[in-house]
Amino acid sequence: MTETSPDLLPHRFSVAPMMDWTDRWCRRFHRLLTRQAMLYTEMVHANAVLHGDRRHLLGFDSQEHPVALQLGGSDPRVLAEAARIGAGFGYDEINLNVGCPSQRVQSGAFGACLMATPETVAQCVEAMADAVSIPVTVKHRIGIDEQDSEADLHRFVSRVAESGCSTFIVHARKAWLNGLSPEANREVPPLDYTRVYRLKEEFPSLRVLINGGIEGPEAGLPHLRRVDGVMLGRAAYYRPFELGRVDRLYFGAEDDRGHPDIVEDLVALAEELCSRDVPLSRLTRHVLGLFHGAPGARHWRRVLTEGARRRDAGPELIEWAVGPCLQAAG
């Protein structure tokens, strides 16, 4: 895609929703690296939004924008109310999870198993779209089990698009709902990027983003010739420093973010946590890969992992951990 409209820009590059990882402090850290990429929450079940501690589940900081709330569920009424609540918190987008293959999720009749029932997904999306004024998007697989033909995928997208969804984030692997763990479902089913490309060709008016197996921001760029955006998952988490190149590669920024600037901002973020009586470990567990593959990386991980266990751990821990890394970088 050679030209990009302003409303598409945040979706040119996004960081995937990842359970137990993309909490608010992970997102705050990622926002130090990229100012413009779209960030996603962990999946939150719609019932939890209605009946749980909403401030704990949905709270986020204004620095995180643009940020989307990912919901799980299959009841249109419940999802609509959860979406309305999420929009009230200030999220920029509501995303419906139709891609998680875990047994726990399947037992609740949501996630990837919903690809077998496009009508249910369409009803959910329609109810959510009617409840909010912000975009409602869907993240899904290219298929499930034996229901994985290209015709099945196009039928699913066509029906859901009719309900008011114009943005589809496609994990370019099918999901096996029985016999494979969620971890194996991220590795074993083969990637099929060309199927996602053909989906975009079939539905040119829809916004199609590609996800799955993309090893870094540079590796995502060729996909932009065929689809509208790239979503990075585990690579963004395990090698977060690479996110410092995203704003230049995808959004036209002049410079990358370097380690010294990132660390300076990270110390300031640690100070904020401490001022709010939030344990430093809530942040440090997400930053262990910042110096992945660089001299001093082992020292960085060890100091943060051991030191953050102390209840009085503060910003000085980051300054101590980073010393050998910055010295090695000259």
Catalytic residue chosen out of the listed positions 100, 113, 124, 325: 100
Q: Which two tokens stand for residue 185?
A: 């479902």
* In contact, 222 and 230? CB cutoff 8 Å: no
- Report the run of H or E that residue 135 belongs to, with start and end: none
Residue 13 pairs with which residues in a beta bridge?
230
**What one-letter code names the amino acid at 189?**
P
Residue 175 pairs with which residues in a beta bridge?
144
Instruction: Kindly tell me the sign of the dihedral angle through the C-alpha atoms of 162, 130, 119, 40.
Output: positive
Q: Which two tokens stand for residue 168?
A: 């589809």
CA-wise closest residue to 172 among 153, 155, 159, 158: 153
Phi-psi region of 20 (alpha: psi -120 to 50; beta: other; left: phi over 0): left
Is 124 catalytic? The answer is no
Q: What distances in angstroms separate CA 269 from CA 26, 103, 156, one per listed residue?
A: 11, 37, 42
Q: What distances in angstroms separate CA 294 from CA 15, 26, 289, 291, one per listed residue?
A: 23, 21, 10, 5
Locate the DSSP E strands across 201-295.
Answer: 207-211, 229-232
Q: Which two tokens stand for residue 299?
A: 């020292």
Three-state DSSP class for 30?
Answer: helix
Asked if the bond preceding 66 is cis, omega within 30° of 0, the reply is yes
* In contact, 188 and 212? CB cutoff 8 Å: no
Catalytic residues: 100
